[in-house]
Amino acid sequence: MKKTVIFLAAAVAALSACQEWQPVFTGEYKAPASYEKVTLEPTHTLAELAAMYNQGNPLTFDWDSDVIVAGKVSSSDETGNFYKSLYIQDETGGMELKIGKTSLYGDYKPGQTIYVKLGGLTVGVYGYKALGTFNGKPSGGSGMVQIGYMYEYLPGEEPEYETSYMDATTIIDSHVFRGEVGEPVVPVVLDENDLPGRTATLKDCPYLGKMVTIKDLKYDGRIFTLVYVNSNKDHKASSNRIFLSDTDYGVTTWAMSKNKFLENLDKGLFNSVLIGNSGDYNYGTVYDNIETVRRTATAATVSQYFMKGNTEVVIRTSGYAKFADTEIPLEVLQGKQLVDVTGVLTLYQGGIQITVNSLDDITFHE
């Protein structure tokens, strides 16, 4: 095994967890072609693979490596709430496969066993941030281990991601193999004591990356989303970043399609929001730049904050999901009803996130 850096003429674009998912086709495709079911013998569990990674050092396997992992598919991109990736899980935890295709649900069924040959692939982490404090509260922590392709970047460029997508069919077909389709995975019901801490890994929390159920969540009256003054310009520039956080801003849907975002914008919900990163709010307000924001608007992914006892749990929804503009029941927003959610459990900068396959995975009760 060795780490390898390949320089190309152009950088490979990747998806940021702070920005919107991209639009995906969620209509009906013709039935996928038949395939030969494969059975391979895993050499490592997913937790053992994750333990081979050292923070900040993406691990690229030699092409002749014999490392193989396997797991059952738990996620589905049928509603558009997952994008160019799927999650597999074994008894030790779950992990994301970054496959650069959409409508993966046609080929990779929930409950299907998937085998991955690691030779030539890269294992990295997305969403890690050094521990610190923000507004007097702990911040930062673990991200999630991913299996993908080597991130390729220009000489002198600071790499933004540790892995990229396996987007060529020849690469996918030589690394990802489909086995038998079994029963869908059964979610594990977690109590507050089971939830991962800010620095958790698969070594100490085998529920990470798995399909889980968390019950009795109470709405906390906060969202987080990142949109841009001009979505066609540098998404890292402080002068182009608009953070909606620490309150709900009147957003009452799970996420915001482009039309819903524009509707909320025209209601004036975001007028007073300052533009910039923390400590650098020197670029006016949304209202000062509203024509540019409106002209270049896109769908917006939204993190809705809930509490499980004293622990924050975010339900994160793509602005391109079919159910993005579905209203959250008023009784939930008022704290009169609680939420039970089933989805893939992940960490982003130490914060707990749940991503659901469909709206059916969220139920309400008193």
The number of helices, as runs of H, and strands, as runs of E, in the chain is 5, 19
Per-residue confidence in pLDDT tens, the chain, 366 aa: 444 433 333 333 333 344 444 555 555 545 555 678 999 999 999 999 999 999 999 999 999 999 999 999 999 999 999 999 999 999 999 999 999 999 999 999 999 999 999 999 999 999 999 999 887 788 999 999 999 998 876 676 666 789 999 999 999 999 999 999 999 999 999 999 999 999 999 999 999 999 999 999 999 999 999 999 999 999 999 999 999 999 999 999 999 999 999 999 999 999 999 999 988 999 999 999 999 999 999 999 999 999 999 999 999 999 999 999 999 999 999 999 999 999 999 999 999 999 999 999 999 999
User: What pLDDT score does 1 carry?
Assistant: 47
pTM: 0.89
What is d(CA 95, CA 210) in angstroms, rounded to the nearest whole number?
8
Residues 6+ apart with CB under 8 A from 93: 45, 46, 47, 50, 202, 205, 206, 207, 208, 209, 210
Residue type, position 224, single letter: F
